[in-house]
Structure 1
Amino acid sequence: MSALDVSQRKLVAEFSALLQSLRNEKQLLQQRGDDLGSVCAEADQSKSANVVLLHCIIETVTEANDRVKGLGRAQKAAAVHRFNELDQMRRKLDEYKQIAGTDSLTHLPNRRAFDERLALMFEDRCEWEMSALILLDIDHFKRVNDTHGHLAGDKVLTTVASILRVSLKKEVFVARTGGEEFAIVVGGQTSDEVTSICESVRLAIAGSPFRGIKSDIDYGPITISLGFCMVQNAVDAVALYGKADEALYHAKHSGRNRTVDHAAISARNSAQHAHQNTEDRS
């Protein structure tokens, strides 16, 4: 457990204790008020009540009430202070979580954030049924690094990330999952619509210039290969990623700069299997 987690738990415990203390003081105030009311009622009913004694009792109860009120105000102020500290702690935790889930180069969500989103897709299967996972990989990226250096490779990565942001709707989740690979999660789409999204991104990158800012060296042409799988065709997150990755593999090994739907691979395999069975029976 980190020091930040320990501090947060300590503040929460102290804040809870203060809230309980305030509840106790409220009950005590109510009891003091009841006692004072009882004394006044008895004084009205008894003509022989000692006036001096009665005043002493009233003053004692009133002073006690004032002390309790003062203590309550002090504890209320302390509770507000603790609450503000907790709110600041929450804000810091949100900032740290944002940093932990962001790729430092492209400023896209990183693999950690992607894994969280992927798991979320299967927590509510009905909501994500018409969704897809797209994996894309920059073609011949190693060649860029080897020819122009790693700074050029970084420039290509940041440019691809920028094109993805511009080409896709704001609600579409885009992450850099490692090296030259990116992942896209789209919802509410048919497989044909997902293919159109992939092709739109592919053409946007293929048609974009990739040049050094200072050197003006042309790093291109830069193309990408894409593979995707619909959520409805996978039993869980592991299977979904595996099938999208298989589709990407087919895109890379069938010429690159193209999109492959895993359903097409499955259909082709089924047809080949059926054809083989037919030959075996003949």
Structure 2
Amino acid sequence: MNYMEEKTKAGEYLRLALNYITKHNLPATPVNYAVWYEYVSGKNIKLKKAIDHSLKNAGPINNVKVEGLYQKYVVDGDRIVISNLLTKISLMLKDISNHVSETKEDLAENGKSLNELAVKINDAKNFNEIRCIVDQMLAETKGLLQSGKRLQTRMRISSEDLKQLQQELEKSQQEAQTDALTGLINRRGLEKKLEIERIRAKQNDLPFSIIMVDIDYFKRVNDTFGHLVGDSLLRGIAQILKTHLRQNDIAARYGGEEFLIILPETGIKGATTVAKKIQKTLATKEWKLRKSGETMGKITVSMGISLYRMNEPEASLIKRADDALFIAKNKGRDQIVIQKEQEEF
């Protein structure tokens, strides 16, 4: 578990996590801290859904339950998926091996019978004996063909199973890199995309830009309207980000109410244009509660932009964008700041 929030935000998450630990009369152990920290920060969507389900159904949340959540959603999430896939592969390989062995035994038996008939044919004395041998040869040959057809059918089925398994593997990999709430890629997927862009930048000598986006006063939305409305807002912001991106641009949920946009082959000027479009869209959008129609007020975001420097580590690139975002927040929010120049728009 890698926690990369700035100190103020991390402190807030810690306070909320400890509130939940106290509320449910749990000891402040590392496991309880990890589970509730990921819950309040919104980092782990599957964990959040599981806990919300328990809270909604008034189920007891004790040490045993938290430990189970920790093993399933914090530690073993990917391992369970991989284990299930490996089990399927193992069973499939065993099945194919059995089919081949059975066919091999059938072929060996048919081959032995044909060899015996080859000896008998030399001793045949009349047409009846010859005809009998030929009939047996036809039967054995038919057996060979049937064994081959059975193996072909079984292998065809196995091939279809393998294709399905491959699709399951691809789906599992995609899910592991996708944020369940917003549909954007998550931090794990982001790391892979950034590495690809770093390689492309080096090969083509074309740097890229990133934009760190943070929803202003998001905690206020959660406190005023509830976490479900907050989740809906996150999905809405994610959709707005996607509408302003090109086909090759990438939007990711970085954690909590933070997003990160990768703009391949784009300089500061292009990145600033994208950021301004997002800012303009939010300035004219009216946010209302779906059921009551009650207005939520104006929703704004703060943005920090950084341009990739050739051979720069990923962490350094993100830190510069995060530093610029921090400046935007301190200057009153709803602003765009470039790092390192710190030019405000």
Which residue of 131, 145, 154 maps to 1:78?
A: 154
Which residue of 306, 309, 312 maps to 1:232?
A: 309
Is the 2:207–2:309 Cα contact (8 Å) retained in structure 1? yes
Superposed CA deviations along residues 162-182 of structure 1, whole A, max 9, x for unmatched, are 211222234321122211101
Is the 1:172–1:186 Cα contact (8 Å) retained in structure 2? yes
Q: Which residue of 1 aligns with 2:216?
A: 139
| CA gap 1:13/1:224 in 2 versus in 1, 3 angstroms | same
Is the 1:134–1:183 Cα contact (8 Å) retained in structure 2? yes
Letter in 2 for 1:4: N
TM-score, scaled to structure 2: 0.61
Q: Which residue of 1 aligns with 2:57?
A: none
Which range moved further: 140-149 or 173-182?
140-149
Q: Distance in 1 between matches of 2:196 and 2:95?
A: 32
Q: Which residue of 2 aligns with 1:190?
A: 267
Q: Distance in 2 between matches of 1:248 and 1:163?
A: 19
Give the aligned length: 258
Q: Distance in 2 between matches of 1:195 and 1:242?
A: 18
Which range moved further: 206-215 or 163-172?
163-172
- Give 1:211 shift: 1.4
- Give 1:159 shift: 2.0
| CA gap 1:234/1:228 in 2 versus in 1, 3 angstroms | farther
Q: Distance in 2 between matches of 1:206 and 1:15?
A: 61
Q: Which residue of 1 aligns with 2:93?
A: 13
Which residue of 268, 290, 294 maps to 1:217?
A: 294
Q: Distance in 1 between matches of 2:104 and 2:261?
A: 54
Which residue of 161, 178, 185 maps to 2:238?
A: 161
- Give 1:80 shift: 0.8
Q: Which residue of 1 aligns with 2:52?
A: none
Is 2:145 the partner of 1:69? yes
SS at match of 1:256: coil
Q: Distance in 2 between matches of 1:128 and 1:181?
A: 29
SS at match of 2:212: strand
Is 2:177 the partner of 1:97? no
Superposed CA deviations along residues 146-193 of structure 1, whole A, max 9, x for unmatched, are 333333322322221221122223432112221110111111222211
SS at match of 1:168: coil
Residue identity over aligned pairs, in percent, reads 28
SS at match of 2:292: coil
Q: Which residue of 1 aligns with 2:336?
A: 259
Q: Distance in 1 between matches of 2:305 and 2:244?
A: 17
Q: Which residue of 2 aligns with 1:108?
A: 184
Please list, as runs of the form range in 1=range in 2, the aligned pairs for 1:38-77 lying within 5 A after superposition: 62-77=138-153
Q: Which residue of 1 aligns with 2:207?
A: 130
Q: Distance in 2 between matches of 1:10 and 1:127?
A: 43
Q: Distance in 1 between matches of 2:104 and 2:306?
A: 59
Q: Which residue of 2 aligns with 1:277?
A: none
Root mean square deviation of aligned Cα: 3.8
Is the 2:103–2:151 Cα contact (8 Å) retained in structure 1? no
Gaps of 5+ in 1: 44-48, 268-282
Letter in 1 for 2:195: A
Q: Distance in 1 between matches of 2:248 and 2:179?
A: 18
| CA gap 1:151/1:9 in 2 versus in 1, 3 angstroms | closer
| CA gap 1:216/1:76 in 2 versus in 1, 3 angstroms | same
Structure with larger Rg: 1
Q: Which residue of 2 aligns with 1:87?
A: 163
Q: Which residue of 1 aligns with 2:29?
A: none
Please list, as runs of the form range in 1=range in 2, the aligned pairs for 1:167-178 lying within 5 A after superposition: 167-178=244-255
Is the 1:129–1:231 Cα contact (8 Å) retained in structure 2? no
Which range moved further: 92-101 or 190-199?
92-101
Q: Which has the higher contact order (CA 8 A, sep 6+)?
A: 1
- Give 1:120 shift: 2.9
Superposed CA deviations along residues 26-85 of structure 1, whole A, max 9, x for unmatched, are x99xx99xx9xxx9xxx9xxxxx9775776766555544332221110001000111111
| CA gap 1:247/1:50 in 2 versus in 1, 3 angstroms | farther
- Give 1:196 shift: 0.8
Gaps of 5+ in 2: 1-78
